[in-house]
Structure formats: C-alpha cells, structure tokens
Amino acid sequence: MATDRKRVSAVNSTSSSLELPMDNYSQSSQADLKPRKPRVYRSKVFIIAVSFSSVLLLIMISAFAVHYTVGFPSSSLPNGGEKDALTMALPPEQRVWVEEGISELRNAVERKDNKRRAKNVILFVGDGMGPNTVTAARIMGFKEEGLMSWEKFPDMGLLKTYCANKQVPDSFSTATALFSGVKVNYETGGVDSSVPLGDCAASLNPDRHVQSILKMAQDDGKLTGFVTNTRVTHATPAALYAHTPDRRWECEQKMPAAATVEGCRDIARQLIEEPTGQKINVIMGGGRQMLVSNVTDSEADPIDTWSCKSNDGRDLIQQWANIKAANNEAAVVVQNSGELDAINAQDTDYVLGIFANGHLKYEHERDTSPSGMPSLKQMTLKALQVLRSKNQGFLLVVEGGMIDQAHHRGTARKALNEVLAFNDAINATLQALGNDLQDTLVIVTADHSHTLTINGHASKGSNIFGVAGNSKTEGTPYTTLTYGTTYQGFQPDANGLRKDPTLEDTNDWEYMQQGAINTDENYHGGSDVTIHAVGAMSYLFHGVHEQSYVAHAITYALRIGRFRDSSIAESLADLLPL
C-alpha cells in the first residue's frame, strides 16, 4: 500500500511540474498549443506516388502525340518485296484480292485531312445519277473492277434527297436544298416551304426567299459561274439565282396571266435582269428559246417541245450584252464550240454561252465541229480558265443534266454514256487544277436517283445492256437493266405477256428498257445518293447527311455567308494555310 502511495505522489509531482505560469501561457497563441499534423508531401510514399504519376502522364502524352501526329505507321504494312513474299504463296484467285486490299489499306493509313480554308469550290451535280446509275456506268466504261474519277476521292457520304413535302423529289427542290441549305416544296425553288406550288403572291415575299451559295459567294467578292448541258433556265441551274413557285415558269408562255399581273418574273428574266443573275461571271448551257422569242427550229438544233417557248418579242441575250457594254465590262456572247474555244480568258470577265434552243445534244449525237455544240468537258474547262484568271477565288457549279433526260425517256444506254461524259469533265478539271487542288474543294454528287435496277445474275464481264437470264415463272428472257416506272417500257405481247427483249437490239441507243409501271415518263427514285469530295476541307463529308447540309458545308469551307470571316481573318488566311 505504501508503495502505491509513492507512485501516485510521483505522478502528481510530475503533472504539477508541467504546469506553466499564467504569464508565460499568455505569450503563446492557442494554435501553437495544438498538435501539428505530419507533412504528407515530405513523406516517401507521397514522393514515390507523384513521381510514378508524372512518368505515367508523360507516357500518355507521348502516346497521344504519336497517335495523332504520326498514326499507325504505313511502314508496318508489307511493301515491295515483302508484299510479294506475303502474297506469292497464295493461289492467284486469292492473291489479286489480298494485293488490292493491302493497296487500299495503305491509302487509308496514309491519308491526311486537308484543313486549309477553301479558296475555290467546284460542285459537280449529276442529275438523276443514283447509285445504280453509277454502278452500271462504271461497268459500261471500266468493267466491274474499275472506278469513276470521283470514286477515288478520299471522303464520301450519303445524302437524303426527300424534299419538304414529298418522299421522292424533283430537281428544283433538291437543287435548292443543295445550293441554299433549306428543303423546300416539290417543284418550287429559291423559296421556303411556306410557299405552295404556283403561289405567285407568296413567292414575292422577300422573307420567304432562300439565298444560294452563288449569291453568298458574290457578296464575298468571289467570281461565280455555272455550266450545264440542259437549259440555263432548267430546274437545277435555276435554283442558283431564281426565286420561283413553279419550275415551269422558265419563260412567260408557261406563266398564268394572273402571276404576271401580280408581278412575278419568269426564270429567264430573273437570270438576265435580277442582280444575282447579272453578277454571274460564266453562264453556259442551252435554252435559247426561253431567252429569245420565236427562235428557229432545225434538225441540228430542235425546239424543246417539253418546255415553254417565248413569244413576247424578247431578246434577253442582246439585253445581257447591252447591260455589260453600258457598265464597260469585258463580256462575250458565244453560241457554238468554235466561239467558245476562241475566248481569251485573261481578257474576259463575263461569258454568256447559249448553245442550243433547248437542251444540248447527247454526247454521242453531238456535232464535234467548231460550228457544233460543245461538250460538258469543253464548257467546264473554259469556265475554269475564266474564273481562275482573276485570282479572286471562285464558285463553279457544273451539271451533267442529260443523264436525267435520258433516264426520263427510258433509254439507259444514253444515260450511262452521259455519266461517262460527266466523268471526263471531272477528270479534266482535276488535271487542270494541278497544285491548286490543295486550296480547292471539289465535290461530286447527284440531286436524286432514278428507278433503274440491275437485275439477275449475269456473268461477270457481261454486256450491261444484255440479257441477264430467263424468268423462272414466265420463261421469258429479261435484261440486266430495267426500270420501276417507264415511258413506253411496259411491253406486253399479243397474249398480254411480257415481250421478249431479245427480239430487239438492246444495245441500240434508242432501245427503251422494260419497266414495271407504264406512265408518261420514267419517274425519279427516292434513294439516297452519294457525295464525294477531295481537296480543301473535303473531310466535312463523312456520313449520312441531309441534302441541305451541302450548302452549309460549302459556306463554311469558303467562309462566306453566316461563316464569313472578319477582314483581318481573311487577310491572315490569304497569307497563312489556315
């Protein structure tokens, strides 16, 4: 017990000795008396963790840098002797496809996006050139393994072609979507979907007008032009400059009297008399019967009986020339191939080339002499010369319009041959551009498709216009190409059965492929169409798009319209590859 008391006394004496005088305590803050936390950042565990994290972060940054700047090295793909060694052991039936696959893979791995701002844009539109049309034309021209020029472009997508009020559109509504970025009603153009077909009063409201890429390019000081082998007042080119509630109003003869009284102008007058039309530097195509009254019909240059023919005494071609002369502008009117070739592009600011009363001749029918009509290729190259000569940047639209015309008549061979002529124009353009392609966005697409189908199981290498086989129910032969809707293509024999196509020459230019539904002409198809792009900002086309997206992509690439740069940004873009 005594020992326990000593221990307690010792504890008490120790405690009392730790007590500080009151004056000493008052000299220290309360915080100083709190126990201090250990400094974690000085601990070995913390230092090791930070060091490890830093090394890991550095590795990740390096990996991302390599991935986005170098990518998967193409050197890892077999090349030359390595490829030969890899494929030589394969049977020839396999080797050809493995070599083709490696070649395409190399192109894919080595591709680089061109993100330069586009100085120029060339938009090629194959009217009615749906996917089956392209495939059939490819087989006709280059066999199954071949490719069209645009099918080699690095970027592509699909366009949905329906218009504001129809599943299957017409060319005026689709062209307005392509050129103005707004889907509109069937057979209307340059006006939004609040304007019904044929409503003149509604179409006069400027708030309902949609502006085209051509006008926006003009507002930005760029040169503009269009080339077509149809009438210059036809649906596709008209969507570039006109605001019209009815595509048929190409001249006054098709317009209701009430519309004229209300103040609506026909499409031909809008081209020549309205500011947008007057500022177009290059206009080439047909349609003289819309611009000049009472033109002469001839076998070499027939009147187009499917459209209107002016008879009000107009001569809009001469009026155009007078306007240019009054403004002291270097302008030229040309009306045949020889006159077109004679144009000096450096000395010419404006060209009006009207080469036919209606549409131009099909390529296989064309008089190739200087007094004849020029090809789409000739017109495109001359337009390119004029627009490039001023170094201001330009927008050029080229329409292969006779593809559609041949399809409407049910003559597939004509349609496919026009696709090949369209291909020639594109090939020549790419060659002419040369190094300028890096600053130029080239686009190839269609406005809509047709109901052309590729049938049966014809042998590889077969004539695309030949017979695919015999019907297993009828026993009657059928051709590889047929149409869904047709103009005189529904062909029963005396017994009401489908006529045997082998009784006719299916290779003839005038042969009409058989079809399922007979009507006044072959109608459009409603499928998506492809879009292909190369050059500056071609990567903007990459998936399934609304057709109206094209106009927005073009204005962004050119920095015009709502995407227009400030004057400072434009000056920098001229100096630097932005």
Q: Which two tokens stand for residue 349?
A: 């600011």
Q: Residue 574's pLDDT is what? A: 55
Q: Are residues 197 and 286 in the same domain?
A: yes
Known binder of ligand: residue 408?
Answer: yes
- Is 16 labeled as catalytic in the residue annotation? no
DSSP string, 370-416: TTSPPPHHHHHHHHHHHHHTT-S-EEEEEEETHHHHHHHTT-HHHHH
> Token pair 């198809």 is at which residue?
525
pLDDT digit of tens for each residue in the chain (578 aa)?
Answer: 444 444 444 444 444 444 444 444 444 445 455 555 555 556 777 777 777 788 888 887 776 665 555 444 555 666 665 666 667 778 888 888 888 888 888 888 888 899 999 999 999 999 999 999 999 999 999 999 999 999 999 999 999 999 999 999 999 999 999 999 999 999 999 999 999 999 999 999 999 999 999 999 999 999 999 999 999 999 999 999 999 999 999 999 999 999 999 999 999 999 999 999 999 999 999 999 999 999 999 999 999 998 999 999 999 999 999 999 999 999 999 999 999 999 999 999 999 999 999 999 999 999 999 999 999 999 999 999 999 999 999 999 999 999 999 999 999 999 999 999 999 999 999 999 999 999 999 999 999 999 999 999 999 999 999 999 999 999 999 999 999 999 887 888 888 889 999 999 999 999 999 999 999 999 999 999 999 999 999 999 999 999 999 999 999 999 999 998 755 555 555 555 54
Known binder of ligand: residue 246?
Answer: no
Query: CA triplet 291, 297, 303: central angle to 5 degrees?
Result: 60
Q: Are residues 410 and 491 in the same domain?
A: no
Q: Are residues 230 and 295 in the same domain?
A: yes
Q: Residue 40's pLDDT is what? A: 55
Q: Residue 497's pLDDT is what? A: 87
Query: How would you classify the pairing of strands 449-450 and 155-160?
Result: unpaired
In a domain, 29, yes or no: no
Q: Residue 75's pLDDT is what? A: 55
Cβ–Cβ under 8 Å, residues 410 and 305: no
Known binder of ligand: residue 404?
Answer: yes
pLDDT, tens only, 408-439: 999 999 999 999 999 999 999 999 999 999 99
Q: Are residues 442 and 498 in the same domain?
A: no
Q: Are residues 466 and 485 in the same domain?
A: yes
In a domain, 19, yes or no: no
Q: Are residues 124 and 223 in the same domain?
A: yes
Q: DSSP 3-state helix, strand, coil percentages of the chain (rounded to 5)?
A: 45, 15, 40
Q: Which two tokens stand for residue 287?
A: 């349609």
In a domain, 498, yes or no: yes
Q: Which two tokens stand for residue 13?
A: 């004496």
Structural domain range at position 462: 452-521
In a domain, 239, yes or no: yes
Q: Which two tokens stand for residue 390?
A: 């001023």
Known binder of ligand: residue 448?
Answer: yes
Q: Determine the Cα–Cα distance for residues 559 and 76; give it in Å rounded to an integer.
A: 39
Q: Are residues 252 and 284 in the same domain?
A: yes
Q: Determine the Cα–Cα distance for residues 365 and 509; give it in Å rounded to an integer.
A: 10
Q: Are residues 279 and 362 in the same domain?
A: yes
Q: Are residues 406 and 492 in the same domain?
A: no
**Hey, is 238 helix, strand or coil?**
helix
In a domain, 395, yes or no: yes
Domain count, the chain: 2
CA-to-CA separations, 505 to 147, 364, 406, 485, in angstroms, rounded? 28, 18, 18, 21
Known binder of ligand: residue 234?
Answer: yes
Q: Residue 89's pLDDT is what? A: 79
Q: Determine the Cα–Cα distance for residues 303 and 357; give it in Å rounded to an integer.
A: 6
In a domain, 42, yes or no: no
Known binder of ligand: residue 424?
Answer: no
In a domain, 278, yes or no: yes
Q: Which of 74, 103, 149, 171 is catalytic?
A: 171
**CB-based contacts of 271: which residues, under 8 Å, 6+ apart?**
232, 233, 238, 241, 242, 277, 280, 283, 316
Q: Residue 176's pLDDT is what? A: 98
CATH code, domain carrying 214 = 3.40.720.10
Helix (H) or strand (E) holding 179: helix 171-180
Q: Are residues 377 and 489 in the same domain?
A: no
Known binder of ligand: residue 199?
Answer: no
Q: Which two tokens stand for residue 136?
A: 């059939």
Q: Are residues 129 and 173 in the same domain?
A: yes
Q: Residue 476's pLDDT is what? A: 94
Q: Determine the Cα–Cα distance for residues 117 and 222; give it in Å rounded to an integer.
A: 14
Known binder of ligand: residue 399?
Answer: yes
Q: Are residues 433 and 490 in the same domain?
A: no
Q: Residue 81's pLDDT is what? A: 59
In a domain, 404, yes or no: yes
Known binder of ligand: residue 347?
Answer: no
Q: Residue 88's pLDDT is what? A: 72
